[in-house]
Structure 1
């Protein structure tokens, strides 16, 4: 059945509706996750894997000597005793760091929540209020010893007047403890901007005396992801009506003389404006620290654990570190001792010191290299997801599997390249797992659908039409199965007959096996040419071949394709004859007849055997034209209707003939392989005009010249004989110059 020139929406929907529906469902599910409407854990897992891989690929793997970590390590515990140490020793440490080592800033990645009773001062005070209450000498001695034995106060005195930042934490417990610093700003500073800061109901702070003396403090709450890893830390958070700063941010503020912090929002009128962040006002100008919608920054890991110089506190107190090793540095006190439980899981290590997380943040803020997830990340990811997804849903199915695979690979490569670029050059982290999964899932859907659904249609058409039409037409037909059937129909088509001249004599000279091999090679070669020009193989009839164009796949240029196939068969025969000659076999000569016209095409036959074939008057004429090739000694003859529908082909008109079984005459033509014989054709057509005008002498003169130049062409000899026969014959006034042929 002829394919419709334009596929209706109903046909398209019937063929691809299920695939579209499944694709849109995949797209909607992943878009909902990208917009945070719900959570798909496997997508989060892939996002985390991709992010961790990028961190490991692009971390500098260098040591930042501007920051030093004083480690409560196994060596310190062995020399100084178990933790916590008394506050007198901590006071000694603080004094040594500022007075002797001349550090710039000191940060404690710990909280001092409970009073230090290790000096025994509380017991002595109880005696002074009890059994020794009336002993004046005891009370006087206690008054002199108390300042020395008040370790908390000694620690507070050491903290006072120095750029020290204590640590504390927020929680969602019912009761708060200790003291925390004043907030950085009021929560109203963020106004109506769409920030969703983490907020808390309680805190665990330091002893009030210590907090008052130090003045500065920062929380050390990280964001623990679903897999237990620390990838980002909120630099600001909300508690009641105040905004508080993280330990790393407060260390930076202390380094720049308690620099003021204000929220900074994107300015749509200024393309150079930051997206969102914290503006830190320093003596050197405003330093912008980008944050995401939660006020958090991604930890800019420099490398594996040990990216900062470590010093054992035992060595510091015992003067065992090099002179000036800590001078002018930011010093963070933390622990790597396993028993003190300050180990984190991070993208760069499953066991990573918590203090080094803060050290990386301080380093990143000093370098201006803080990565963050921009507020528009979800929108950008969703837009990319929708555009790529819709393209794959509605465009990919129209491509071959190879092209769809290539396009998918290029799309995946573009996504990965863009993701790497924004991560490495812009310091943005935009989740890409939803987009990558959408591309992969839609590719698998299209390939699976094509294999299980369309492949079934292809197998059906291959079984139905595969023996007649080339594979590319079977492929085309399988895309629109509803447009094709083998039911008989009337259509204008072009048919070709090809026969081997003198086959009977050839068969008598060869053994049966050799003849079979020769015919297999001949039929195979000619069939390949027919199929290469979109022809449908009808049948083999001994040494004859029958093919047609325009069915089952509609072909508006069926006449031109048929003529091109005939010329291709002529060229292929030259190469085939070289092969046959090399084997000692006879060469072959063929005659081809082509005609165009209305005919019936379909599956015809009996219950015993059927074939997809054509029949009708136009088919019979083509068979007669093939027979005329022997009369004119020309290998290809086409009918007048074929010539009219192939205007870009150069033809030689041969004659007007009346073939057996048909009263109406037709003009017949020979197609030319090139226009190199244009002069010859001009003389020939002039001679033919003189012949039809009964100008025998003029026609004879031209034919003599042509015969002398081209003695191999029997056509000129044929017409010279005709003129000789017609000279002196009184022709009727209505002589139509038509040659009648009564044989097939």
Structure 2
């Protein structure tokens, strides 16, 4: 429970905010709230996916183009119906195409032959001319261009196009694919209008069918989708692409696929089941292709469009009329007749091209129907988006808060790529359109949130940590602490540490021999060197300066299992630094520098201690007091460093010389004290042998074998006259001879002063 509480205290704020953002994203996918900006970004991504779609030439669909060349050779458009009749005859009889779809309509009779004018003259102004009326009547078949066109259409697989418009009804509609009665109670939510501009009756009756070529645009004016069926009144009429394909396949019906019966379905399922799939019945077998809501399918644009720019071959209508196109180019193909000529107003703005031929939109639709594949947004797209956003949002909200910056970057990048990759996989392989921007936005927002939180809160905590601990510990330790500031504080706690006390020998004499300016430089150089050794070399915590004395400890705030070894190594280094400084000081004519160091290891209270006026991060306890006593004892034993037995036990990698068993002021239990000599491999030859001889002599002292001990220590003193320890023990032996300690003596030296 403590661990959970600690995590909640540290990460609870970020978790709550992250989950709140995830909830907002989920509500967006459920249409609880909307955003034009987010929807617009999804549109931009959808357009990008369209442009990335690969394509190859589709030989089965050809566009007969009323292009600039055709206008030059044949004349301005619209052409007379006798020209259109010849075009149909060329395509159906000579080139034997499987179907022709006209992306143009013929809503008015063609009077360009002049027959009506001649007939009027014969009946009025020129009716007195004998035989004129009969002669004009004889010319009627050759001048009835609509009749010629109708005759060319009759019995041929030709589909006429017609347009939808509000407010007018012109021409004759073909038979609908089905009516509202067929839906049997299901809601027919198709593209609906009440007006139309269809073909004249003579042509429509002769044609194999008709289809709507009206382009539907989005709010930004781009064509991205096209209805497969349109509703006019109670009838549903196919698009030009669907009607042309149905004619090419010889389909007998174009209808939506029904699932179940209306009585067994919920209202939502009634709507969805009516629009999932469209079917063309060919030889009593269905040819199916999926559609989206409202019987609308997304156009899969294959290339930027236009002659040579897409997946469809373009041939000039003039070349077809003149028979200049190789027969194998058109034979058996589905042909769409349209125009790319400037000024004929059949260029559409699309995501892949601002001037995309309208006729090629129908070609793309036919290709998708033939493949049985449309890019659709099925009715289950919204639940999938909701589940994806919820799962990804919750995972990132929880994980990004606890991960390091490097792992957060990797996780956020992986989530971003996975989200985009899954979306593109569903689009490219399974033809499913899913909105992705809200998911990408959530990933980016959660990442930025945690980045900003880390910067504004964690970094501030880290800076506060640096401010609090920077003067105590080494910079590299502060950096380590700043990575996890919650793990470090100044609250009091008990911990096993190693404490150090350092003091300058004879500082009163030194201060009397120097001017104030020299003394300041003297002490500054000394304290700087000692502080650098403590903090930088072995990452100790500098506690305080007490005049010329220095206090430090190891193991807090950053815990080290080898704190005793670090302290011993630092003490040896400090003695070397003091020797180096001493040589410099003597060269300047300054007093000699000698220091004494006391070390002790044990349980201590560490934390921010003091008063309301001033506080400091320090250590307290019996083990600390003993460390201070050991620093003073170094003067007695003539050594530079004295440590307690606990420190000796936790730093076995060093060579040691035992100094004594002592009972310091304020302590009843005796303590063994030692002098560290360095690592055995670094010692000069003969040092370890000297230590062994000393330890044997010390054992003789404790056994009260005064003569043997004196002889052994005297021999050591002769070889090492500067060693004050040997002189001390020779004096003690002389004292013990004169004043025997008694048979119950425990070998302990008691100190009554600090």
Taking structure 1 as the reference length, the TM-score comes to 0.75
Where do residues 208-223 of structure 1 align in structure 2 (5 Å cutoff)?
Answer: 208-223=201-216
Q: What value does the CA root-mean-square deviation take over the aligned residues?
A: 5.4
| Structure 1 residue matching 2:599: 3-state secondary structure | strand
Q: Is the 8 A contact 1:592 1:626 kept in 2?
A: yes
Q: Is the 8 A contact 1:181 1:211 kept in 2?
A: yes
Query: Structure 1 residue 109 and structure 2 residue 84: aligned?
Result: no
Deviation for aligned residue 1:332: 1.0
Deviation for aligned residue 1:283: 6.6
CA 209–50 in structure 1, closer or farther in 2 if over 3 Å, else same? same
CA 353–503 in structure 1, closer or farther in 2 if over 3 Å, else same? farther
Q: Distance in 1 between matches of 2:133 and 2:70?
A: 37
CA 403–88 in structure 1, closer or farther in 2 if over 3 Å, else same? same
Q: Distance in 1 between matches of 2:129 and 2:230?
A: 53
Deviation for aligned residue 1:527: 0.8
Q: Is the 8 A contact 1:76 1:314 kept in 2?
A: yes
Where do residues 439-588 of structure 1 align in structure 2 (5 Å cutoff)?
Answer: 439-469=443-473, 470-472=477-479, 475=482, 478-479=485-486, 491-492=494-495, 494-497=497-500, 499=502, 520=528, 523-528=531-536, 531=539, 536-540=541-545, 546-548=551-553, 558=559, 560=561, 562-563=563-564, 565-566=566-567, 569=570
Q: Distance in 2 between matches of 1:278 and 1:199?
A: 18
- Segments of structure 1 that go 5 or more residues without pairing to the other structure are 268-274
| Structure (1 or 2) with the larger CA radius of gyration | 2
**1:43 alignment partner in structure 2:** 38
Query: Structure 1 residue 299 and structure 2 residue 299: aligned?
Result: yes
- Correspondent of 1:602 among 604, 608, 613: 608
Q: Distance in 1 between matches of 2:223 and 2:744?
A: 104
Q: Distance in 1 between matches of 2:740 and 2:541?
A: 49
- Correspondent of 2:177 among 153, 172, 184: 184
Where do residues 41-440 of structure 1 align in structure 2 (5 Å cutoff)?
Answer: 41-60=36-55, 62-123=56-117, 137=131, 140-171=134-165, 173-186=166-179, 197-258=190-251, 260-261=253-254, 263=256, 276-280=276-280, 282=282, 287-305=287-305, 306-307=309-310, 308-368=312-372, 370-440=374-444
Where do residues 696-715 of structure 1 align in structure 2 (5 Å cutoff)?
Answer: none
Q: Distance in 1 between matches of 2:345 and 2:182?
A: 36
Q: Is the 8 A contact 1:599 1:619 kept in 2?
A: no
Q: Is the 8 A contact 1:235 1:296 kept in 2?
A: yes
| Structure 2 residue matching 1:427: 3-state secondary structure | coil
CA 201–577 in structure 1, closer or farther in 2 if over 3 Å, else same? farther
Deviation for aligned residue 1:346: 1.9
Deviation for aligned residue 1:638: 5.3
Deviation for aligned residue 1:407: 2.4
| Structure 2 residue matching 1:165: 3-state secondary structure | strand
Q: Is the 8 A contact 1:160 1:213 kept in 2?
A: yes
Q: Is the 8 A contact 1:566 1:592 kept in 2?
A: no
Q: Is the 8 A contact 1:649 1:672 kept in 2?
A: no
**1:272 alignment partner in structure 2:** none
Deviation for aligned residue 1:339: 1.0
Taking structure 2 as the reference length, the TM-score comes to 0.74
CA 735–575 in structure 1, closer or farther in 2 if over 3 Å, else same? closer
Q: Is the 8 A contact 2:497 2:564 kept in 1?
A: no
Q: Which is worse superposed, 721-730 or 42-51?
A: 721-730
Q: Is the 8 A contact 1:629 1:637 kept in 2?
A: no
Corresponding residue pairs, total: 699
Deviation for aligned residue 1:343: 1.2
Q: Distance in 2 between matches of 1:277 and 1:288?
A: 7
Q: Distance in 2 between matches of 1:159 and 1:200?
A: 28
Q: Distance in 1 between matches of 2:385 and 2:449?
A: 21
CA 528–131 in structure 1, closer or farther in 2 if over 3 Å, else same? same
Deviation for aligned residue 1:167: 1.8
Q: Which is worse superposed, 369-378 or 512-521?
A: 512-521
Q: Is the 8 A contact 2:608 2:615 kept in 1?
A: no
